[in-house]
Amino acid sequence: MATRRTQAERKSETRTRLIDAAAELFARKGFHAVSAEAVAEAADRTTGALYSHFGGKEGLLLALLEVWKQRTVERLTAEIHQLPDPAPHFAAMWEAITAPAEDRGEAWLLLEIELWQHGARDPVLGPLIARRFAEIRGQLGEGLADWAEATGTSLPHPPDETGALVLGLLLGCALQHRLAPEAVPQELVVQALSTLLGLRDGSAGNPPPKEARP
pLDDT at 103 (0 to 100): 55
pLDDT of residue 211: 40
Q: Are 60 and 23 in contact (CB under 8 A)?
A: no
Look at residue 203 in the predicted model and tell me its pLDDT: 44
Give 151-186 pLDDT, tens digit per residue.
888 899 999 999 999 999 999 999 999 899 999 999
- Residue 191: in which H helix or E strand, if any? helix 186-196
User: What are the residues whose beta carbons fall under 8 Å from the beta carbon of 160, sequence distance 6 or more?
Assistant: 137, 138, 141
pLDDT digits (tens, 9 = 90+) for 67-108: 877 776 666 665 555 556 778 878 888 887 887 665 555 677
Per-residue pLDDT averaged across 54-67, rounded? 87
